[in-house]
Amino acid sequence: MTSSQGRSAAVPASPGRPPSGTPRVTDRNELPDRVWTVPNALSALRLLGVPLFLWLLLGPQADGWAVVVLMVSGVTDWADGKLARVLGQSSRLGALLDPAADRLYIVSTLVAFVLRDVVPLWLVAVLVGRELVLAVMLLVLRRHGYPPLQVHYLGKAATFILLYAFPLLLLADGGGAWVAVVAPVAWALTVWGSALYVLAGVLYVVQVLGLVRAERAAPLPTAARPAP
């Protein structure tokens, strides 16, 4: 097994740095160690909304309030990243909380929708399968001494689309004159968001495999080569 210490011995560079000729991987540990920031507060608020959303959807089935929670989550998902850049408040904690909140909302929403028969099971299987594949890729990165890769803009766009598609799916699942208008829009956003979400996962896998291949192809420095 290749550990981060083993990588450092084979490559004359700091731990977490890819071999020569490959893009540098941004290490989240290089970000400031901040906790009390506005973006972190928004990410924490989003996380607290996950159990509230599930309870509203599966308990009293208060779909209107569940839609409000999802809409607030979508707005804060955009706002925390924007404020982190504008205010210069990027942090290690924020780099962990933001994608964690995204994944929790998407997975919990899909599970709840299956229990309510809002979306088909195959759609949930595809998106949850994507998360499982990415979890394996994180293990591969750790084994080779790399930090998790930064979230791709395509993944953020897909998450944003899905977080707005889900409330519309709830509205389309109910009754009312608006269903004929809302349902096509909801399913269009769901299909596009899901496709982009899977594509972002494929790009992540390609990046990880590219790093691993580049590391294996990199020649060992003279000091690390066995004596003749």
Domains of the chain and CATH, by start:
29-218 (1.20.120.1760)
What's the pLDDT score for residue 153? 80
Tell me the pLDDT of the chain (228 aa) as tens digits: 333 333 333 333 334 444 444 444 445 555 656 667 777 788 888 888 888 888 988 888 888 888 888 778 778 777 777 777 777 666 666 667 777 787 888 888 888 888 888 888 898 899 889 989 998 998 988 888 887 777 778 888 888 888 788 888 888 877 667 778 888 999 999 999 999 999 999 999 999 988 888 877 776 555 444 454
Contact by Cβ (8 Å): 120, 169: no
Contact 75, 45 (CB under 8 A): no
Q: What number of other Cβ atoms are within 10 A of residue 163's Cβ?
A: 24
